[in-house]
Amino acid sequence: MLKSLSTLALAASLGLASAATGAAFAEEKLPYSDKAPFSDKAMEILRTAVGMRTAEGHGNVPKLAAYLANEFKQGGFPEEDIHLLPVGDTAALVVRYRGDGSSGKKPVSLSAHMDVVDALPEDWERDPFTLIEEDGYLFGRGVLDNKMGMTSLTTNFLRLKAEGYVPKRDLIIAFSGDEETGMVSTQALVNEYIELTDSEFVLNADAGGGALAPDGSVISYNMQAAEKTYISFEMTVTNPGGHSSRPREDNAIYDLADALTKIQAYKFPARSSELTRAFFKASAPMASGDLGKAMATFAADPADEWAIAELRSHPEYVGTTGTTCVATMLKAGHAENALPQSASAVVNCRIFPGVGAEATLNTLKEVVDNDAITWRPMKDPVETAASPLRDDVWEVLERAVHARYPGVTIVPYMESGGTDGMHFRSAGIESYGISGIFLKGSDMFAHGLNERLPLTSFYGDLEHWYMILKDISDD
C-alpha cells in the first residue's frame, strides 16, 4: 500500500533510457527451468496462494498461513520450528531452518507478505484469483506483489531441506499478513515475537529487482537499502458558516485553498545520503542526455541547482532528492446553500531519512502561515535510517545476479514508498530488498488490473533465491 513508486517501475525507467545507449545485457540463460527440482511445487504453491483472496476483509490470510505451515511440516520441518501466529484478523508465519551454528553468526531473516491489494473480478480480463498461464505470462492478483516472493522463499526452504542441506547459520522465514494495510502483523514479528525473528539482518523479497528493456535485454539491478518515512497530515479549517446568500470575508474553503496553493508551490530542500549519491552515480551511465548528466552532477555535488532542477523534472526521481508532501484528499462543506463550516485536506508526506516527521510538520505550518488551521497526524510514523551497504550482503547479491546476468550493474537505492523492511529497521535489524524478479516497465501491473509475471521471472526468481540462501548461510 505504501509504495509511491514501485521498485520495478523505478528500475524500468532507467532501463528504457539505457536501452537507447546500447548498455543492455544479453537475455538471461535460465539455470532454473520447468524441469528443475521443485519448480512444479513452486507452481502449485503459487496457484494455491493466488486462489486465496488474501485482501483485507476476506479473512483468508490465516488460511494461507495454515496452508504454508502444513507444507513446511510435510517438507520435514519440525513442528517446534513452525510458528503460525494469529494477529487480529490476520496472521504471520515464522519458520526456522536450523543450521549447525558453525559460522558463529546470528540468523538471517527472509521477509515477504501473504496479503494483497484487493481486485474486483468484474474489472479484470481474467479471474484475478485464478492463476492463468497465457502467452509466456502468469496472470493473477499477487503474482508480483508479493506472492511470488513468498513462493520462492517457501519453495527453496523445501528444496534445500529435501537436498539435505545444513546451513552454517539459521535461516528464518518471516511472512507478514497485512503489509498492504496496517502492517500490524509486521510490527508483531519484530516486537512481541522478536525472539523468533531476531537476526543479523533481513533480506526482503518485496523490494529490489531488475529492469528489462523493451526487447527483453537486461539493463540494471536495484537493491533497496532505505525507505522514506510515510505519514499523512489532515489539515482542517473551521468557520461559523452561515447562509450562502450572505458571503463572509473569511471562508473555510478559500482559506484551505490558499494553504494548499502555498504547499503546492513549496519545494523542500534537496537532500542526499551516501545511498542516494551511490544510486545516482551508478545510474548516470545508464541514462541519456541531461538526465544522465544531472545524475552524475548531483552524485558529485548534491547542492548543484541545475542538477536538482533537472532531476525534479522527472517524477520518478523527485522523491530521491528530498522530502515530498502532496495533497491527496479533500472534504468541505455540508450543504450547497450554506457557507462551509469546515474544510479539510489530507497532505501525504514521504520524508527523507533523518529529517523527521515533526520537523516536516513544522515546515508545512511555516509555509501555510495560518494559525487558524489545525493539523492532525493520521498515523504514527515509523522513522528509520538507511541500512549500511554491507560487503557480505552486497557480495552474495552480486554473485547471484551475475550468475544470471554477468556484469550487469547493481544499483543501491532508497524506496520512496514503504515495505515491511521499515519495521525490521525500526527494531534494529537492517533490511535489504533483493527480489529476483526482472521486469519490463510495460509489465508492471502490481496493485493494478491484470497483474502479471513473466514465466522467465518465475523461474529466475526461484533460482535467484536458491543461490542467495545457500550463499548467505554457507559462510
User: Are 19 and 59 in a shared domain?
Assistant: yes
Residue 309 in domain: no
As a whole number, the mean pLDDT across the chain is 91
User: Are 460 and 359 in a shared domain?
Assistant: no
* CATH code (residue 367): 3.30.70.360
> In the beta sheet, which residues pair with residue 100?
none
User: Which of 377, 410, 445 marks a domain boundary?
Assistant: 377
User: Are 97 and 195 in a shared domain?
Assistant: yes
CB 226 within 8 A of CB 387: yes
330 to 290, 327, 343, 361: CA distances (angstroms): 37, 8, 8, 18
The predicted-structure confidence for 113-135, as pLDDT tens digits, reads as follows 999 999 999 999 999 999 999 99
Strand (E) positions, 333-408? 338-339, 342-351, 374-377
Residue 2 in domain: no
Q: In the structure, what pLDDT confidence band is assigned to residue 33 with cuts at 50, 70 and 90?
A: low
Q: What is the DSSP letter of 269?
A: P
Residue 293 in domain: no
pLDDT at 94 over 60: yes
Q: What is the DSSP letter of 153?
A: H
The predicted-structure confidence for 151-209, as pLDDT tens digits, reads as follows 999 999 999 999 999 999 999 999 999 999 989 999 999 999 999 999 999 999 999 99
pLDDT at 4 over 50: no
User: Are 122 and 235 in a shared domain?
Assistant: no
Residue range of the domain that includes 451 = 7-227+385-472
Residue 370 in domain: yes
User: Are 332 and 402 in a shared domain?
Assistant: no
- Number of structural domains (the chain) is 2
pLDDT at 13 over 90: no
The predicted-structure confidence for 357-390, as pLDDT tens digits, reads as follows 999 999 999 999 999 999 999 989 999 999 999 9
Q: Which three cell numbers stand for residue 356?
A: 523527521
Residue 303 in domain: no
User: Are 190 and 72 in a shared domain?
Assistant: yes
Q: By three-state DSSP, how is residue 259 classified?
A: helix
Task: State the pLDDT at residue 192.
Answer: 97
Tell me: cis bond preceding 204? Omega within 30 of 0 counts: no
Q: What is the DSSP letter of 27?
A: P
pLDDT at 32 over 60: no
Task: State the pLDDT at residue 288.
Answer: 87
Q: How far apart are CA 86 and CA 88, in angstroms?
A: 6
> In the beta sheet, which residues pair with residue 232?
348
Residue 291 in domain: no
Q: How far apart are CA 439 and CA 454, in angstroms?
A: 8
Q: In the structure, what pLDDT confidence band is assigned to residue 90 with cuts at 50, 70 and 90?
A: very high
pLDDT at 348 over 70: yes
Q: How far apart are CA 318 and CA 270, in angstroms?
A: 9
The predicted-structure confidence for 332-345, as pLDDT tens digits, reads as follows 999 999 999 999 99
Task: State the pLDDT at residue 457.
Answer: 92
Residue 104: left if φ>0, alpha if ψ -120 to 50, beta else—which one? left
User: Are 209 and 75 in a shared domain?
Assistant: yes
User: Are 58 and 198 in a shared domain?
Assistant: yes
* CATH code (residue 196): 3.40.630.10
Task: State the pLDDT at residue 126.
Answer: 95
296 to 22, 98, 225, 292: CA distances (angstroms): 19, 45, 20, 6
Task: State the pLDDT at residue 14.
Answer: 54
Burial class (CB in 10 A: 0-12, 13-18, 19+), 67: middle
Residue 23 in domain: yes
Can you give the length of the chain in residues?
Answer: 475
Task: State the pLDDT at residue 286.
Answer: 87
Q: How far apart are CA 181 and CA 190, in angstroms?
A: 17
> In the beta sheet, which residues pair with residue 92?
85
Q: By three-state DSSP, how is residue 346 classified?
A: strand
User: Are 340 and 204 in a shared domain?
Assistant: no
Q: Which three cell numbers stand for residue 426?
A: 525500526
User: Which of 377, 397, 413 marks a domain boundary?
Assistant: 377
Residue 449 in domain: yes
Rounded (5°) CA angle 164-195-462: 40
Q: In the structure, what pLDDT confidence band is assigned to residue 34 with cuts at 50, 70 and 90?
A: low
User: Are 196 and 333 in a shared domain?
Assistant: no
User: Are 16 and 155 in a shared domain?
Assistant: yes
Q: How far apart are CA 118 and CA 98, in angstroms?
A: 35
The predicted-structure confidence for 205-243, as pLDDT tens digits, reads as follows 999 999 888 888 888 999 999 999 999 999 999 999 999
Read off the pLDDT of each residue in 96-103 and give the average, rounded to a whole number.
97
The predicted-structure confidence for 399-432, as pLDDT tens digits, reads as follows 999 999 999 999 999 988 789 999 999 999 999 9
Task: State the pLDDT at residue 27.
Answer: 46
The predicted-structure confidence for 269-324, as pLDDT tens digits, reads as follows 999 999 999 999 999 998 889 999 999 999 999 999 999 999 999 988 999 999 99
User: Which of 358, 377, 396 marks a domain boundary?
Assistant: 377
User: Are 236 and 222 in a shared domain?
Assistant: no
> In the beta sheet, which residues pair with residue 374?
236
